[in-house]
Amino acid sequence: MKSAIRTRRPLALAVAALVGLPLAISGCGTTASASSTDAVKEISVMDYYNNEPDKSFIGDALTACGTKAGVTIKRETVPGKSLISKVLQQSSSKTLPDVLMLDNPDLQQIAATGALAPLSDFNISTADFAPGVLSAGTYKDKVYGLAPTVNTIALFYNKDILAKAGVTPPTTWDELKAAATKLTSGEQYGLAFNANPTYEGTWQFLPVMWSNGGDEKNIDTPETAQALQLWTDLVKDGSVSSSALNWTQADVKDQFMAGKAAMMVNGPWQIPALDKKTTLQYGVVKIPVRDASQTAVAPLGGEVWTVPQTGNKAHQAKAAEVVACMNSDENQLAMAKVRNTIPSKTSLAAKFATDNPKLATFTDLIKTARARTGELGEGWPAQATKIYTAIQTALTGKASPADALKQAQGQ
C-alpha cells in the first residue's frame, strides 16, 4: 500500500504543475514594466502599416525620429482590422504602447475612453494643420492626435476611353450621368464606386452628400436624398454595376484597371498599383457637384499618431518627441511623396502640388476636406451605419432614396 501511495505522488506533482503553469506564464507578463526613473532607452510603437511598401516607409521614418530623440523604437504592426480590438485589450490590461497610430475616425472613440494624452501637455505645435485634419484629431477641444499626411477620394478617369468616346471629365452631376451612360457599352461600365454595407460604402458616398449640403447629423433631408438619388440613378440605368453593392475599394480599382469601368471613385493610395500598368493612362478630377456653383467637400482619410496615457511620464515625453518629429515639415513632405498621400499642413500644399502634379487634385481637396467625426465624434459609427443602410436600401430598390433615408434615420 505504501508503495502505491509513493507512485502516486509524482502524478500529484504533475497535476499541481499543470495547474500552476498558466499562472506562472501569466505572471511573467507583469515583470516587463520598467520604472519611470531610468533614462528612457526604448519606446514602443504600434501601427497598422503591416504591408509593404508602407511598412518600410513608416518604419524608416520612425527609426529616424527615434534616433533624433535618443531612443530605439520597438515597433509592432498589426492588421488594420484588429487594431481597435488590440487597443481596447491593451487599455484594459494597461499595456498600451508609448506611441499609438489610429485611423482618424477612431480617434475620438479612443480619446473618449481617457486612454490618450492631449498633445498640448507636451507643447506640440498644431499650427498650420488643415482644419479638417485638426478636427479629426480633436476631442472636446483638445488635440489628441496629428496626421503627418492625409488622403481623400476623387474621380479617376481612363484618358483613352474618354478620348475615344469624345467625353470630357465631368464636373457636375448631369455631366457625370451623361458621361457614364455614354461610356457604358458591352462589358464596360461608365463608372465604378463601392456602396457596400460597411463604413467604406459610407465613405464613398460622403463627397456627393456633403458637397450638396447634406449633413450626417440628420440624413433625412432633401439634400442627402438628392445625393442618394444620383447614386441610385447611376446603378438603375446600368452605368454602374449593381456589384457595387458588394465591392470594396480594391475591387473598384481592379475593375478600372481591367478596363471594365471608364471612371472610378477612389483614393491616391491606388496610384502605385495603377502606375504598374504602363498602358493605363488616367487622370484625376474632383468628384462632380450637383450645381457648378457648389464647392466640392471631400471626406478626410489618414492616420493620426497619438501618445497614450501609459502612466510613465518619461516615456510619454519621448513618445511625444517622436510624434512631433513624424509631423515635421520634412517628414510630411517626404512621406507624402513616397506614400502618395498629402501633407496635412496647408503651408506645404502649394509646393507639394507643383512638385507632384499627379496629386494636385487631392492636395486641393484637402484644404476643404471634412473629418467624418468632426460633428458627431463618438456618435459617428452609429450614424455611418445608418448611412450605408440607407444606401443599400435605395440601391436595391427596396425603398426610394428619400424613404430609405427616413427609415434609416428613424432606426
Partner 1 sequence: MSLTTDLSQAKSRANQRAKARAKSGSDNAQARETSPSPRRRSRKRRERLFQWLFLVPAVTYMALLFGYPVVKNIVMSFQDYTTATFFTGEAPWVGLANYAKVLSSSLFSTSLVNTALFTLGSILGQFVIGLALAIFFQRKFPLNGILRSLLLLPWLLPLIVSSAVWRWILDKDSGALNRFLGELHIVNTGVPWLTSTSLALIAVVGVNIWIGIPFNLTILYGGLQEIPDELYEAGSLDGATGWKAFRHITWPMLRPVVSVVLVLGVVYTLKVLDIILGLTNGGPANSTQTIATQSYDLSFHEFKFGEGAALGNVLVVISLVFAVLYLRASRRSVDE
Can you give the binding site for partner 1, defined by CB under 8 A?
1, 5, 8, 11-12, 15-16, 18-19, 22, 84-85, 88-89, 91-92, 109-110, 112-115, 187, 189, 196-199, 241-246, 258, 260, 378, 381-382, 385, 389, 392-393, 395-396, 398, 411
Rank residues 222 and 397 by Cβ distance to partner 1 and give the closer one. 397
Rank residues 104 and 341 by Cβ distance to partner 1 and give the closer one. 104
Sign of the CA dihedral running 88, 216, 345, 266: positive
Query: At 348, which amino acid appears?
Result: L
Rank residues 174 and 220 by Cβ distance to partner 1 and give the closer one. 220
Residue whose C-alpha is closest to residue 283's, from 358, 173, 339: 358
Residue 18 beta carbon to partner 1: minimum distance, rounded to whole angstroms: 5
Rank residues 18 and 127 by Cβ distance to partner 1 and give the closer one. 18
For residues 215 and 374, what is the distance between their CA atoms, to the nearest angstrom? 11
Cell 504543475 belongs to which residue? 17
**DSSP tag of 216:** S
All three cell numbers of 236? 438603375
Q: By three-state DSSP, how is residue 278 classified? A: coil
Rank residues 50 and 385 by Cβ distance to partner 1 and give the closer one. 385
Residue 398 beta carbon to partner 1: minimum distance, rounded to whole angstroms: 5
Query: At 84, which amino acid appears?
Result: I
Residue 163 beta carbon to partner 1: minimum distance, rounded to whole angstroms: 24
What radius of gyration do the chain's Cα atoms show? 25
Residue whose C-alpha is closest to residue 372's, from 133, 196, 149: 133
Residue 89 beta carbon to partner 1: minimum distance, rounded to whole angstroms: 7
Buried b (16+ CB within 10 A) or exposed e, 257-277: beeebbbbbbbbbbbeebeee
Rank residues 71 and 102 by Cβ distance to partner 1 and give the closer one. 102
Residue 5 beta carbon to partner 1: minimum distance, rounded to whole angstroms: 7
Residue 174 beta carbon to partner 1: minimum distance, rounded to whole angstroms: 26
